Structure 1
Amino acid sequence: MQPFIYSRTMQVFLLVSLSQALLCTVFFRFLNNYEEEEHDSDDHLLQMIVEGNSKFAYTFFTHLANENPNQNIFCSPISISMLFSMISAGAKGQTQTQILEGLDFNATLNSEKNVRKGYKHLLKMLTQTNSDSVLSIANALFAEKNTMFLKKFLDDLKDYQAEAISTDFQKSEDAKNQINRYVEEKTNGMIKNLLGSVDPQTVAVALNTIYFKGKWKDAFDKRRTHDADFHVDNKTVITVPMMSRQGSYRTAYIREVGCTLVEVPYLGSISAFFIVPDPGRFEDLMRALKNNFISKWIEEMEPMYEGILLSIPKFKMSSAVDLKKELTALGIKRVFSNNADLTGVTGSKELKVSEAVQKAVVSVDESGTEAAAASAGGLTLHGMPPEIKVNRPFVFLIRENRAKVDLFIGKLIKPKN
């Protein structure tokens, strides 16, 4: 059956929703029941996903941070990459190439199929829950019930474990409520009323949610949390609730950049990394992050440094990002324009992405972290001080250590509770 041809006004509405993710233990594991040759192929594809996402993550994050120099930023670049990779399954020609290149997947060496299979392998590596942690990733396509989507596109989305959900966008209020209920359920109630409205001419909403909840491996004692100064800048000092704990942590001081790096692990294979620049060195840190030096720093960290008195503020943070604006600035333009080629979605030449947003939330306290969303210098490994105070603007990330995947990245200028 031939797909229905839509007028230019028919649009794809693209939504990225990163659900609240408590920074806690999450386990990524390799499946042991693959054949040997499949392991080699899967490992290669996984490495391609990890390397591409790492480059994109810090390109996107530093761009966003530079655009908002005095604001808190929190995002999940891997969720953006996964969502737009889903869209690339229905893109053709320059539209597809631009998406893949913009996500830092070499379109010449890595086809859309390889990217899709790489994400399929990554998703299979995730354990869903245990008594200490939860990591839940959900992909969905809310599809206009009267639209004929191509079978290949829907089949390809299965590699992302995406479900197709029939929706009547002509009844825009019902469609909005349907999507908002889905997001609220997938984010354990952390993100409510994500959409304020839905255009009746919407053809589809592509959605990715990430929910992450976990506990610190060594929790902070609430009785030791105390009011302390946080130096927002040279002239602004605020009082924040500061958590403190003495223990053993992996640390490093990056001399050329002038920053301290400390790893605070959760139960399992997930860690939070706090990067605290010396006074006046925040811009040096951001330039180093743009050049993707963080992975090298982490790999070369000291195994453990005992007797560290660590102080970290309790904080909550939320961010909303207009992805259409920010990705266009990074070169992913065609998919949002009237020149978009998304003929792999319905067969129609009249489709484009009309909107793309990301919302993310994070909360850090003594027991762990909750976060949601509905990216050079030499390393000095010795002479760390016995006390590390995270008492000025810093960068933090949440990383799965075995797969070396950065799940969330944030910049905190001014803590809020």
Structure 2
Amino acid sequence: MRIFVFVFLSQALLCAVAFGHKSEEHHDKNADDHVKETSPLQKIVPGNIKFAYSFYTHLAGKYPKDNIFFSPLSVSLLFSMLSVGAKGQTQAQIYETLGFNMSSISEEDINKGFQQLHHFLNQPNSDLVLSSANALFIEQHTKLIEKFSEDLKTFFKSEVIPLDFQKEDEAKNQINSYVEKKTNGKIKDLLKNISPQALLVLVNTIHFKGTWVHAFDETRTHEEDFHVDENTIIKVPMMTIIEKFLLASIQQIGCILVDVPYKGNTSAILILPDEGKLQDVERALQNISLQTWAELMRPMQITLSIPKFSVSTTLDLKSELSQMGIKDVFSSKADLSGITGDPNLTVSEAIHKAVLGVDEKGAEAAGASAAVITKLLAPIKKVTMNRPFLVTLLHKPTYTVLFTGKVMKPESY
């Protein structure tokens, strides 16, 4: 059986903290021409959000004591690209796991939705660097089915780059150089080796660089305790700012949400579980709508303290997604005949790496019902992220979860 090597990458880094809840003052004028509710992009939003938190819940259950950070968007993009060449049960498993109900959305709408999303994410914006790139590295003598090649170019703006996989080191270096360039040097040497049996390598990158609307004052950053668990306390540089933020309290599951906006209509949604409520909050993520949270958040003057930190995660997607339902594509049962016409293709490797860093000024990065939520009734004067918390980078014009994760133990930055 020929090997279809699938490599996935995304990278992101949070930057300077911002004050500001008045979103009308910080619109991305290009991207904020609101997408019609009936557009393909709006049709894929629910599936993308569902997958983001289903995947998070899966990872949190397996790695309860570890930092988690990934780009659900990048995983969805890459496997949607792969699904263009998949057929039958192989394709059905991919779409179902990605959160798409094929009885209510068509393959064409999914492809067009990602096409529109790619356009929105790659809009020029002086306030924000946000870009997504796709590439297909192909064995130089292999011919793709024309429809597969054209659909990748049309819907995913994918480059097609021929390589000689018999020259293993040279091929590996070319792919790693592409990844390094697209992530502005933040991810190097992604591939440790590559098989000469490889036929294709599919790559996606997401690069995010943003600045807070108002930066933290570096002179207010001081070393403080971070309670990793009941028995572990570490020292972290804690940044502090007094400003007005959008804030919500979810009393039934026990957590506070704070919307810390970047310039350019993207926000970091910080979720601080009450003590002992981390797992309850993680389980509830699958059943609570981000739109509902957004609607019920209210501006409030608070003292916000968050660590200055970085986290990184490398995931074996072959292992993780097999457990979530994408099984056939990684086995001899795979039907990827829509790629080259060869029925004997399988995905041998799937890798995801993401990194995140937070500081005072800015930096860069290379993934229930309304009844559960209540308005915040009493003012909260201080919100301190001094125990494990969750973070989501949300692109508001398209309601896309760019990255999400959990900070269990902040690493130095």
TM interval, short-chain normalised:
over 0.9
Deviation string 1:209-268 (CA, Å, 9 cap, x unpaired) is 000001001110111100111111112111100000101111111100111111111112
Q: Tell me the CA shift for residue 44 of structure 1.
A: 2.9
Q: After the TM superposition, which residues 17-96 of structure 1 pair with which residues of structure 2 at under 5 Å, given as runs? A: 17-23=9-15, 27=28, 29-30=30-31, 43-96=38-91
- The answer to whether residue 67 in structure 2 is matched with residue 97 in structure 1 is no
**How many Å separate the matches in 2 of 1:111 and 1:337?**
26
Is contact 2:10–2:71 with CA below 8 Å preserved after alignment? Answer: yes
**How many Å separate the matches in 2 of 1:238 and 1:368?**
24
Amino acid at match of 1:381: L
Aligned partner (choices 317, 320, 323) of residue 326 of structure 1: 320
User: Counterpart of 2:200?
Assistant: 204
User: Counterpart of 1:132?
Assistant: 127
Deviation string 1:9-54 (CA, Å, 9 cap, x unpaired) is x11111110034445799484587x9xxxx75x8431112111000
- The answer to whether residue 161 in structure 2 is matched with residue 169 in structure 1 is no
The count of aligned residue pairs is 399
**How many Å separate the matches in 1 of 2:291 and 2:362?**
23
Q: After the TM superposition, which residues 328-347 of structure 1 pair with which residues of structure 2 at under 5 Å, given as runs? A: 328-347=322-341
Amino acid at match of 2:314: A
Amino acid at match of 1:289: L
User: Counterpart of 1:408?
Assistant: 403
**How many Å separate the matches in 2 of 1:77 and 1:362?**
14
**How many Å separate the matches in 1 of 2:254 and 2:335?**
46
Is contact 2:48–2:98 with CA below 8 Å preserved after alignment? Answer: yes
CA RMSD of aligned residues (A): 1.9
Q: Compared with structure 1, are the counterparts of its residues 262 and 220 closer, same or farther at alpha carbon in structure 2 (3 Å cutoff)?
A: same
User: Counterpart of 2:23?
Assistant: none
Is contact 2:137–2:161 with CA below 8 Å preserved after alignment? Answer: yes
Instruction: Please state whether the residue corresponding to 1:242 is helix, strand or coil.
Output: strand
Instruction: Please state whether the residue corresponding to 1:355 is helix, strand or coil.
Output: coil
Deviation string 1:301-358 (CA, Å, 9 cap, x unpaired) is 11x112x111000110100001011111111111111011111000001101111110
**How many Å separate the matches in 1 of 2:149 and 2:262?**
37
Q: Tell me the CA shift for residue 101 of structure 1.
A: 1.0
Identity of aligned residues (%): 48
Q: Compared with structure 1, are the counterparts of its residues 92 and 286 closer, same or farther at alpha carbon in structure 2 (3 Å cutoff)?
A: same
**How many Å separate the matches in 2 of 1:203 and 1:26?**
43
User: Counterpart of 2:3?
Assistant: 11
**How many Å separate the matches in 1 of 2:323 and 2:27?**
33
Q: Tell me the CA shift for residue 385 of structure 1.
A: 1.4
Instruction: Please state whether the residue corresponding to 1:286 is helix, strand or coil.
Output: helix
User: Counterpart of 2:213?
Assistant: 217
**How many Å separate the matches in 2 of 1:274 and 1:14?**
32
Normalising to structure 2: TM-score of the pair? 0.93
User: Counterpart of 1:372?
Assistant: 366
Q: Tell me the CA shift for residue 128 of structure 1.
A: 4.0
**How many Å separate the matches in 2 of 1:254 and 1:292?**
10
**How many Å separate the matches in 1 of 2:124 and 2:191?**
28
Is contact 1:73–1:318 with CA below 8 Å preserved after alignment? Answer: yes
Amino acid at match of 2:148: F
**How many Å separate the matches in 2 of 1:77 and 1:64?**
12
**How many Å separate the matches in 2 of 1:28 and 1:43?**
21
- The answer to whether residue 314 in structure 2 is matched with residue 312 in structure 1 is no
**How many Å separate the matches in 2 of 1:415 and 1:248?**
25
Instruction: Please state whether the residue corresponding to 2:365 is helix, strand or coil.
Output: strand
Q: Compared with structure 1, are the counterparts of its residues 27 and 351 closer, same or farther at alpha carbon in structure 2 (3 Å cutoff)?
A: farther
Aligned partner (choices 324, 329, 348) of residue 342 of structure 2: 348
Amino acid at match of 2:343: K
Is contact 2:130–2:208 with CA below 8 Å preserved after alignment? Answer: yes
